Amino acid sequence: MSDNFLRIARKEIQEELDTLDQILTRCGNDMDVSNSAQSIEKHLHKIKGLAPMMGQNDVGEIAKMVDAILKYIIINGVLKGTYQILVESNLAMKEVFSGADTKNAIELKNKLRQTYPDVLGC
């Protein structure tokens, strides 16, 4: 990957994470997440694609898992616990993206699998 591509991709992912923060700040519960699911999913979809291309596999995996949860919500409606999971997921992606240890990301991925096994096909 060229340095220019990596710089642009890094900027785009950071913008997507910041936008997700703004959306989640306006949400306060699972119903709000359901009402904003399409918007949230669009941002996660972009992160899901870009992050692995620049070596941010944990960020990409979290985005992929949460993207699947949001697609489920778009089709089926409110899913219990998703507001808190989204807040935790965005925080974990931001931490890993900024260079933090991946321990929290690994724990979060396990939590997602345990909490939503039917949605994630686990």
Tens-place pLDDT, residues 39-85: 999 999 999 999 999 889 999 999 999 999 999 999 999 999 999 99
Residues 60 and 46: their CA atoms lie apart, in Å, by: 9
- Element spanning 92, H or E: helix 82-97
| Tokens coding 42 | 């669009």
Q: Which residues contact 116 (CB under 8 A, 6 or more apart)?
A: 69, 72, 79, 85, 122
Residues 88 and 22: their CA atoms lie apart, in Å, by: 14
Residues 110 and 113: their CA atoms lie apart, in Å, by: 5
Residues 70 and 82: their CA atoms lie apart, in Å, by: 9
pLDDT band at residue 1 under the 50/70/90 scheme: low
Tens-place pLDDT, residues 11-37: 999 999 999 999 999 999 999 999 999
Residues 95 and 61: their CA atoms lie apart, in Å, by: 14
Amino acid identity for residue 70 in this structure? L
Q: What is the CATH number of domain 3-120?
A: 1.20.120.160
